[in-house]
Amino acid sequence: MMSFTADWLALREPADAAARDGDLLARAARLCAGEAAPVIVDLGCGTGATVRALGPLVPQDACWRLVDNDNRLLVAACAAAGERAEPYCRDLADIEALPLAGAHLVTASALLDLVSGGWLARLVGRLARAGTGFYAALSYDGLMEWMPPDPEDGEVIAAFNAHQATDKGLGPALGPAAGGAAAESFAAAGYTVETRRSPWRLEDGAGALRAELAAGVGRAAGEMGHAGAGDWVRRRRAGDAATRCIVGHLDMLATMPALHREAA
C-alpha cells in the first residue's frame, strides 16, 4: 500500500483537525465509555492524528493498537499514544492479519478512499462478526472548489478524481465513492450508520497546504493525461495569496445495535 511522508501528514493535520465532525468524534469515543482498558485499533495510523483527535475523549487507560506499513510513522504514532501503544507494522491488504480481535472500536482517517470495494467488504464482514464499531474520518468525496476560479479547474479536478480511483496498493480504489460505499456496506451488515460532511476550508494561514495540494492534484491529473495540468499548478501557486480552496470529505460512524453485538 502507498505510504505518505511525515511532512505531508504534519502539514495536513491542522486542516484535518478543524474539519472533523466533533459530534461523530464524541459519539465514537462513547463506544469506549465504561470499558476497562478499552482497545482501539487505528488502521493506517500514520503519525497518530487519530490518537491526538480521539485520545482526549476516551479513557486514559485505553490501549491503542496502531497499524501502518511504515515503521517510521509508527514510531511517531506510538509517541502520541504513550505507554499504552501497541505498534503493528502490517500490510493492510491482509484483512485477516489485522489485530482486530477484542477491539471495542476500530478507526481510520483519510484511508477509505484508498481502498478497494473488495477490501472494504472483507473489513465489514470481519467487524460485523464481532459487532465492533467503526469510525472513519476524512474520506475524500470528490468535491473540490478553488477560488478564484481557473478555466481549467473542472478538467483538472475530474482527472484528479479519476486518478483517485486507481490502485493504491489495495486494489482499484473507491476514491470519491468511498464514503457512500462504506455507509451502504455497514448498513447492509446490520449497523446503524451516521455520516457528516467534513470539508477542508483552506483560507488564510493555509498557504503551504494549498501549494502542496495544488502540486499533488496537478501531478495526478498529469498522470491521467491532462496536458495542461502543469500550467494549472503554476497559475494556482503564482496567485496563492488570493486563493481559497474547499475540499470535500465525509466522516462516518457505524455502530452495531446492542442485540446484534450480544449475538455476535
Model pLDDT, residue 259: 46
Look at residue 215 and tell me if it is in a domain: no
160/222 Cα distance (integer angstroms): 8
Look at residue 138 and tell me if it is in a domain: yes
Q: Are strands 63-68 and 39-43 parallel, antiparallel or unpaired?
A: parallel
The total number of structural domains in the chain stands at 1
Look at residue 257 and tell me if it is in a domain: yes
pLDDT higher than 80, residue 3:
no
Look at residue 237 and tell me if it is in a domain: no
Model pLDDT, residue 240: 87
pLDDT higher than 80, residue 55:
yes
pLDDT higher than 60, residue 260:
no
236/17 Cα distance (integer angstroms): 25
Give the pLDDT band (50/70/90) at residue 258.
low
pLDDT higher than 70, residue 116:
yes
Look at residue 190 and tell me if it is in a domain: yes
Instruction: Print the domain residue range for 48.
Output: 6-142+171-202+246-263
**CATH (domain of 67):** 3.40.50.150
pLDDT higher than 80, residue 24:
yes
Residue with cell 476524512: 138
Model pLDDT, residue 207: 95
Q: Tens digit of pLDDT for each residue in 83-102? A: 999 999 999 999 999 999 99
